[in-house]
Chains A and B, each alone.
Chain A
């Protein structure tokens, strides 16, 4: 408890100070927060992160659900497929994959060459500020393993009788999906949505590696946590970084609360008679 509480209390205190690691912290009240909201790079980092969360998370969850449904069908070697599809998630957050990812997307890298076959103009994605975000979303989508496994477990819980009854009533696959799978899966979907949204706010490792810790090119990959790191550990403005951390805590807290509030409307718990 103390191990968690002390750093949190300390960082809350530091958020109201001017602290550079070398001199004693000096109390400056709300100055860090005022500077923060006037800082254009802060807003850039907030925008970059918001796009990543809003676009990346749904795509990743859709991919995870699609693969989970494929893997839920019964045929031989299913265990092996599950392992294979889960593998990227084990290594996706690692340093080596970020490096490989970068190599794939540079000039004349494999993605550039394939894109040229389909008539796209030559040029890698890494140096083009308009293409770095799609690249990160692809990387995130590729590591869909964790939500996929949870979806798969959820799919196993859906009673087969429901599908049989629906088939008898003449429901097609789309209707079964929207009327049975999604409602029955909604608690799992909600759980995944929550975890992945919070996780997306905290993306750091891949961004740090691919841009060399700068958020470049031209701040297009300046994720919130990366800017926080730059402020704290490159510019040694720990007070400012702590203030950023607390703004993030509050934003994530508000979004989580909103998700919980709306969940009453769409999450269906079976055995629940409401």
Chain B
């Protein structure tokens, strides 16, 4: 009994090692050169994404259109929520059986690409995958060294959302576009004081210092590169502590939306139940905010300015990636091209994944005046000149580090940890993850 088990273990791990080795040598494609798409070969592809029913309906429509145009291709689909999605992918990656095509997030790029799980699509760029409408920096968001492991389908920018009805009820004016982080803190304090006697009690904001991307945005504004090229942290314990301390008065004064209530509302939040005036998030959240809150005129502002008065914003890309172990790389490339360039796909998805990366897809969107799509596009266009920085390329284990930041933020709000303990615990996980 013991020896077959051990043999299987050895066989399993050596198979994995061989697979990783092959992938590393060949850069992902079996031959190192691009195969071309054969329209007569019967091909079955698996496609996976995270998201809700709404997104699933959009994918279904888009993928049906693809199989209509390519009758030889059959597509098997699967989707789950974001967290479960990565659990499933990690397990598949361990068995070298990732789906052929996956919706992807750059937070996980280094883990998957660095271990030979993702297909290097660079041989197909400019060929099967038309790149004439893709800006170089968008392509670079999927690049590690000379290889490109993910293609951009849309862009997202960080923003402050406010609910005009709540702001008015508080008797306040929304923050001005030129606001700084200090002015934001003052504004939140005033708003929460004004809302304290309401029924329900209204608040200025949730604790934005516990939002990892807000911290990263702040670092970029102060000239700190959050993650270095060799995959290490570019900021110090002192940087993080200083950032968290900016929320001290608001936290002790009860000005942030209470964490207890936030826990109970999840997956909704204070902002979507119209009890909180402002929240920071990615601009493609607008559709969700409007739908959950039932408030049509949710408005977006750029993030607060850094100490030099500039915004230093960056755009992240929403990506698609492919498995290095796919049997049909040419068909995969064909599908990636379709998802990036096909105008109909732009119409189908709108801005639900962010602003489409190609002009053809942006033009194809049926934008009603005043619609969510229009406002998201307008936001990214209006502030395009302030989107001046490259998006931080996440380090390995970024997903876990972001989750830990959020967890510690809650502990901080409950008063269970001090800022110093927060920083200490976060860095201890980071050092563990980054080795």
Structural contact, A233 and B87, CB atoms closer than 8 A: yes
**How many Cβ-Cβ contacts under 8 Å join chain A to chain B?**
90
- Indicate whether A33 reaches chain B with its CB closer than 8 angstroms: no
Evaluate whether A24 and B20 lie within 8 angstroms (CB atoms) in the complex, with A10-B9, A234-B83 already known.
yes
Evaluate whether A235 and B397 lie within 8 angstroms (CB atoms) in the complex, with A5-B1, A21-B90, A22-B93 already known.
yes
Which segment, of A73-81, A171-179, A214-222, A241-249, faces chain B? A214-222
State the main secondary structure of chain A at its contact with B: loop
Q: How far is the CB of B376 from chain A (nearest CB, A)?
A: 27
Evaluate whether A217 and B403 lie within 8 angstroms (CB atoms) in the complex, with A6-B8, A21-B90, A22-B93 already known.
no
> What is the size category of the interface that chain A forms with chain B?
35 or more
Structural contact, B9 and A127, CB atoms closer than 8 A: no
Q: In the complex, what distance in Å separates the CA atom of A216 from the CA atom of B412?
A: 13
Evaluate whether A126 and B90 lie within 8 angstroms (CB atoms) in the complex, with A24-B17, A234-B83, A236-B397 already known.
no
Interface residues of B in 103-123 (CB under 8 A from A): 111-112, 114-115, 117
Evaluate whether A217 and B5 lie within 8 angstroms (CB atoms) in the complex, with A127-B260, A235-B433 already known.
no
Interface residues of B in 87-108 (CB under 8 A from A): 87, 90-91, 93-94
Structural contact, A107 and B93, CB atoms closer than 8 A: no
Structural contact, A127 and B263, CB atoms closer than 8 A: yes
- In the bound complex, residues from chain A placing their C-beta under 8 Å from that of B83 are 213, 234
- In the bound complex, residues from chain A placing their C-beta under 8 Å from that of B117 are 22
- Indicate whether B31 reaches chain A with its CB closer than 8 angstroms: no
Residue of A nearest to B94 (CB): A21
Structural contact, A234 and B400, CB atoms closer than 8 A: yes
> What is the size category of the interface that chain B forms with chain A?
35 or more
Structural contact, B115 and A234, CB atoms closer than 8 A: no
Structural contact, B111 and A216, CB atoms closer than 8 A: no
Structural contact, A217 and B410, CB atoms closer than 8 A: yes
Contact pattern, A 81-123, Cβ under 8 Å of B = 1, otherwise 0 = 0000000000000000000000000110000000000000001
Evaluate whether A218 and B9 lie within 8 angstroms (CB atoms) in the complex, with A21-B91, A212-B266, A213-B83 already known.
no
- In the bound complex, residues from chain A placing their C-beta under 8 Å from that of B262 are 127
Q: In the complex, what distance in Å separates the CA atom of A10 from the CA atom of B13?
A: 11
Say which residue of B16, B90, B264, B399 sits within 8 Å of A127 (CB atoms): B264
- Indicate whether A129 reaches chain B with its CB closer than 8 angstroms: yes
Q: In the complex, what distance in Å separates the CA atom of A22 from the CA atom of B91?
A: 9
Q: How far is the CB of A108 from chain B (nearest CB, A)?
A: 9
Say which residue of A13, A124, A235 sits within 8 Å of B9 (CB atoms): A13
- In the bound complex, residues from chain B placing their C-beta under 8 Å from that of A219 are 411, 416
Q: In the complex, what distance in Å separates the CA atom of A39 from the CA atom of B1?
A: 36
Interface residues of B in 53-98 (CB under 8 A from A): 83, 87, 90-91, 93-94
Q: How far is the CB of B407 from chain A (nearest CB, A)?
A: 6
Which of B264, B265, B400 has most chain A Cβ within 10 Å? B264
Contact pattern, A 222-262, Cβ under 8 Å of B = 1, otherwise 0 = 00000000000111110000000000000000000000000
Q: In the complex, what distance in Å separates the CA atom of A229 from the CA atom of B91?
A: 13
Q: In the complex, what distance in Å separates the CA atom of A212 from the CA atom of B407?
A: 12
Q: How far is the CB of B321 from chain A (nearest CB, A)?
A: 14
- Indicate whether A128 reaches chain B with its CB closer than 8 angstroms: yes
Structural contact, B5 and A5, CB atoms closer than 8 A: yes
Interface residues of A in 1-39 (CB under 8 A from B): 1-2, 5-6, 9-10, 13, 20-25, 35
- Indicate whether B4 reaches chain A with its CB closer than 8 angstroms: yes
Residue of A nearest to B4 (CB): A2
Contact pattern, B 391-423, Cβ under 8 Å of A = 1, otherwise 0 = 000000101100100010011001010000000
A-B contact pairs, 7 of them (CB 8 A): A2-B5, A9-B9, A21-B93, A129-B414, A216-B407, A217-B263, A233-B90
Binding site for B on A (CB under 8 A): 1-2, 5-6, 9-10, 13, 20-25, 35, 40, 106-107, 123-124, 126-129, 212-214, 216-219, 233-237
Lowest 5 CB-CB distances: which A-B pairs, in order?
Answer: A127-B260, A127-B263, A235-B400, A22-B115, A106-B264
